[in-house]
Structure 1
Amino acid sequence: MAAEHLRLYSYWRSSAAYRVRIGLNLKSLPYETVPVHLIRDGGEQHSAAFKQVNPQELVPVLQHGDRVMRQSVAILEYLDETWPEPPLLPAAARDRQRVRALAQTIACDIHPLNNLRVLQHFDRNWHVPQPERDAWVQHWVQEGFTALEAMLADHPSTGTFCEGNSPTLADCCLVPQVYNARRFAVDLSKYPTITRIEKACLALPAFDAARPEKQPDAPVA
């Protein structure tokens, strides 16, 4: 299928959008970035115009022609089914299950608890001070990373990347979550396998180009 007219609604620091940028880059798919600033003016994702794009008021959204797609992991699977090379999921069913489990550990269990809207709710509705909000994020990242490290370390399927020696859907999810962990000053020394895999990923041009600071809407340093 033609790759024309791919449009990604994104925010430079959104980890979910970061996942999709990695997937698009791994597939060598050109795309247009439509910035959605999640902070300015109360958050552009809450505007009436963006609600027409995504009633959830979240990024990312991928538009392919007339089709509008939501939810980062579902978008990544769409990319893999539409443009199979290079694959983001392994050929064997048991290996695909493992990759999905690793990805969902991040996308379903870790990420939602440190999402921007959760932290904003703490601030606006309960007036939770910043140090307590940071401690909340650190706690849940550490809980999740402790489990993830155990799932990766010394597992026979773990290679250069989360599954074998080619990046998969799991790596697309891992790298943005490590970026978030660093933002919130999580001690990563306890997770040597996670940080080793992140380093291997970021050495690849597809991951490097997806870094938040390299996005067109990133603040000028």
Structure 2
Amino acid sequence: MNTNLANIRQEYTKGGLREASLPEDPLLLFSQWLQEAIDAKVDEPTAVLVGTVSPEGRPSTRTVLLKGLHHGAFIFYTNYESRKGQHLAQNPFISLSFVWHQLERQIHIEGIAHKVPSAESDAYFSQRPYKSRIGARISPQSQPIKDRMQLIAAFVKEATRWVGQEVARPEHWGGYAVTPQRIEFWQGRRNRLHDRFLYTLQSDGKWQKERLAP
């Protein structure tokens, strides 16, 4: 590598956050920022980095897509037998990070994940594209496979099986709802004097708001 990574830096100039303008409910600000990311046509605005912890206490991250914000919980769908699913079965604590580089914004969330009701997973699964439903049925997510042809052969076989029928959701696939306990909003500013505001859920159900040093 010929590039000196230490010299790569960017000045952040696109906005700021003032405590007086922040709502008491962080989910209102999250919804506003998400809509602004969608309106700005940023790449994959609903992409969220998910962090879980293994039984050995080792962190693991991967990217999924946010599919809803219902009753104060962040919703995403996955294979329950995947690595993250196995981690969450042992330890429901989870982190979510949204990074919108074009807007110089980040949101970091910590909370507890639980499976959504089966009926809710069924409803979402039925709306997915046909090929995505087939893929969810045949992929042994996170498990080693021999080669890509193994996936293709399984996909073709499963697709043939469901010709003319409604593809059923497999038991090993469904949604998680993440109830937030900590939400941090980050807005890039000049001279690395970034704006960071942390909302922490209190025992009475209200949110405490405070500014953090960058």
Tell me the TM-score range normalised by the shorter chain.
Answer: under 0.3
Normalized per residue, which structure has more helix? Answer: 1
TM-score by length of 1: 0.25
Give TM-score scaled by structure 2 length.
0.25
Greater strand share, structure number: 2
